[in-house]
Amino acid sequence: MRNQKNELKLLKCIEQDCTMSTAQLAAMCDMTEEEVKSEIEQLENDHVILGYKAIINWDDTIDETVTALIEVSVTPQRDKGFDRIAERIYQYEEVESMYLTSGGFDFTVLISGRTLREVAMFVAERLSPIEGVISTTTHFILKKYKEKHTIFKPQEEQKERPIFV
């Protein structure tokens, strides 16, 4: 039987920094290295851990990309709900993330492209024509401040201010 408390602790540590060694993870989670290795293998096999990714500040590289958040409204399909339309959309290489949401639209889709035109053409030629898509609204990401708990620009150290009493 799996120890759910250790499992959650391990998952949170891996999510925070997936480059930690099994020795570091074991120390942080009060487990042995063998238990960590076994637990990670099981979590990967169970598709709880789907992959390991670095968070990169692409604005500080020479790679020029445009990221857009697209709100998509759809008509759910009989017997398949939102899943069939979602599958058609998330299969595109440009789609980085996709979520079913509540509120004024159904899906939030994050995509990247080399230019504004490339993103616009994706929306116009590939996304909008999908059967069941009613409307789209595209928002271009101008600057990223924080992603997955990671602040992109460290806060400037505040200068000490004298306190007058």
Domain segments of the chain: what residues?
Answer: 4-45, 58-143
Element (H, E) at 16: helix 4-16
Name the residue with tokens 């789209």: 136
Coil, helix or strand for 76?
Answer: coil
Which residues, other chains included, contact 152 with Cβ-Cβ below 8 Å and sequence gap of 6+? 57, 59, 144, 145, 146
13-22, 29-38, 71-80, 131-140, range with greatest mean pLDDT = 131-140
CATH topology for the 58-143 domain: Alpha-Beta Plaits (3.30.70)
Query: pLDDT tens digits, residue range 74-107?
Result: 998 888 889 999 999 999 999 999 999 999 999 9
pLDDT > 70? residue 155? no
